[in-house]
Structure 1
Amino acid sequence: MSPHGHGTHNSAVSAGRRLRELLASGRLVTAPGVYDGLGAHLVARCGFPTAYLTGAGVAVAGYGLPDIGLLTATEMVERARIVADALGEVPLIADADTGYGEAVHVVRTVRAYERAGVAAIQLEDQAFPKKCGHLPDKELVDARAFEAKLHAALDARTDPDTVIVARTDARGPLGIAEAIDRAGRYAAAGADVVFVEAPQTLEEIEKIAAQVDAPLLINMVQGGLTPDTAPDTLAALGYRIAIHPGALLGPAVLAGFDSLKRLGGTLPAGLTPGPQGLFELVGLREWAAVGERYREHSDRSDRSDRSVQSDRSDHGKDGA
């Protein structure tokens, strides 16, 4: 626990219970994104009721990597422990990506995140390796497979107050209707909070609120796909949590550029706006090229295997 005693809650009350109390208030909870101990202290000292451990922020700022599923559960759990300790009594909502594997891996992930001191664990229905929710070409697992992961997460909790957040990334590849359908299914499966990633218009934000019967989380990504929406509007629609993953990271990058320019540095040219540009700073294009290289190798191997199998089949016919 932080020696600075952030907040006024009784430390005997679990982090999950403190977050549930905030959700029960009926007000919109604003959760700035944090990725290190310093940011956690800043959020706590500025009086925010909760914080969000951003996987993208940990990847970019902690490891110099783009948010394309390169971090391991061990790396994220250790960062969660650091941040939760610095936050003190301020509950932490923690990104756990896809759970780092199948349902059995989700069980281990949930137990490890709980030991790290988080209040809520966010899981998503992307296929591994996942991507930032505001990048193109995302792939999903079957909704039933994700429901199995949710059941595993709910059963694995040692503290029944630990909040399980179910995120669907279906809006991009499958459309808003499928995203809302999945959100409803995940709520029915027992998720405590539901998160439809990257709605693209205010109408879609309103439609999610009207059609999904569950406490809702929304992601406000500066320069992302979702329109910036006023907190009062979100609260009136019934959203309960608004995460702002880039609240500290974006300004830190801009201030860093400004400082380095004053020292005589040359700013990089041709960066893409928004989250993709941030990931390009830490090697998105290079990592994408690596992935494509081995994907092509795999495709060639698959074609070769099919050819061999076909040859064997033809040989068997000839000898019949």
Structure 2
Amino acid sequence: MLSTTTTPTQRRQAFRAGLASGELQVMPGAFTPLSVRLIQEKGFHGAYISGAVMAAELGLPDIGLTTLTEVAQRAHQISRMSDLPTLVDADTGFGEPMNVARTVHELEDAGVAGLHLEDQVNPKRCGHLDGKAVVDADTAVKRIRAAVDARRDADLVIMARTDLRGVEGLDAALDRAKALQDAGADAIFPEAMASLDEFAAMRAAVDVPILANMTEFGKSELFTHQQLHDVGVNLVIHPVSLLRIAFGAIERGLDTLLTDGTLDAEVPSMQTRGRLYELLDYEAYNAFDASIYTYNGR
């Protein structure tokens, strides 16, 4: 009821243990605090908090328009509702190294298990679009060093994302990943990899865990979890999937309402009131409220 029963440090330790376990860690994107409850109930290893999703929820494109305050607030709302580790997209850190340091503090306080910082320039673009630009190696390294130096909980995972594959090619991305690892990154997020062979090359290039982004309509084929595990990927995210599923259903429902004048035909596919209350743990709130109401002071 109300929130997670574990501490942020416990969830960070669980995240690190999962990354070191040899088992592929699967993190669907949680686009609401309630959706993370469902992700946990279904047995996933953790939940991802996507910057693209946060922007979309505000009606904005994913081009760096969201603020640190908005991201930290959403990260807190989602992280507090589950015992699962959460990984949050911190974009470029919302500024230069001093801003990156503050970003780490704010997201650490929000209760996330990890965050990733990318090497794009500001304003950034979605990682699977053309026309991206990246910062030089020195700037990228300084961002990661600032983040590592700023964290207060040593268990917080600082992940470095590089978008260099789509700008200068695989070899440049491999070199950048090595430099980011040397700067202290706990894991590497190589964005927009084109093949399983490229993931395997990244696995061979660095010693820390690597992430695969299986976003629909992107540059990467939607490889299976088994395929990713077999080439040494440690963590896979499905960042925007639940939002896309939900909004696809919403749009179909609205079309039905326009054409039929009723949503009767859509009811069988809806989540029932009972299932919603179960997910919300409604009965626990009722029991708590009743215990307070009937308290007799003895």
Specify the alignment match of 2:71 in structure 1: 76
Cα distance, 1:185 vs structure 2: 0.9
For normalisation by structure 1, the TM-score amounts to 0.78
Matched-pair contact (CA < 8 Å) for 1:36–1:58: no
Q: Distance in 1 between matches of 2:85 and 2:173?
A: 28
State whether residues 9 and 113 of structure 2, in contact with CA within 8 Å, keep that contact through their aligned partners in structure 1. Answer: no
Q: 1:106 to 1:5 in 2, by over 3 A?
A: closer
- Does residue 41 in structure 1 map to residue 24 in structure 2? no
Structure 2 stretches lacking a partner, 5+ long:
260-298
Alignment correspondent of 1:238: 232
State the structure with more CA Rg: 1
From 48, 51, 56, give the equivalent of 1:52: 48
1:195 is displaced (CA, Å) by: 0.8
TM-score, structure 2 length as denominator? 0.83
* Structure 1 match to 2:210: 216
RMSD (Å) for aligned C-alpha atoms: 1.5
Contact 1:35/1:79 (<8 A) preserved? no
Residue 21 (structure 1) aligned with residue 17 (structure 2): yes
* Letter of the structure 2 residue corresponding to residue 79 of structure 1: R
Counterpart amino acid of residue 74 in structure 1: T
SS at match of 1:30: strand
1:1-320 → structure 2 map (5 Å cutoff): 3=2, 11=7, 13-61=9-57, 63-87=58-82, 89-264=83-258
Relative distance call for 1:130 and 1:12 in structure 2 (3 A) is closer
User: How many percent identity over aligned positions?
Assistant: 42
Structure 2 Cα separation of the partners of residues 249 and 12 of structure 1: 26
Q: Distance in 1 between matches of 2:235 and 2:108?
A: 20
Give the SS at the match of 2:60: coil
What is the alpha-carbon distance in structure 2 between the residues aligned to residue 13 and residue 152 of structure 1?
A: 21
Letter in 2 for 1:194: I
Gaps of 5+ in 1: 266-320
Report the AA paired with residue 46 of structure 1: K
Q: After superposing the two structures, state which structure 1 stretch, 64-73 or 202-211, moved more.
A: 202-211
Cα offsets for 1:246-273 (capped at 9, x unmatched): 22111112111110110127xxxxxxxx
Q: What letter matches 2:18 in structure 1? A: L
Q: Report the AA paired with residue 196 of structure 2.
A: L
Equivalent position amino acid for 2:209 in 1: P
- The verdict on how the C-alpha distance between 1:96 and 1:5 changes in structure 2, with shifts beyond 3 A counting, is closer
- Equivalents in 2 of 1:20, 1:171: separation in Å? 26
For 1:168, the aligned partner's letter is T
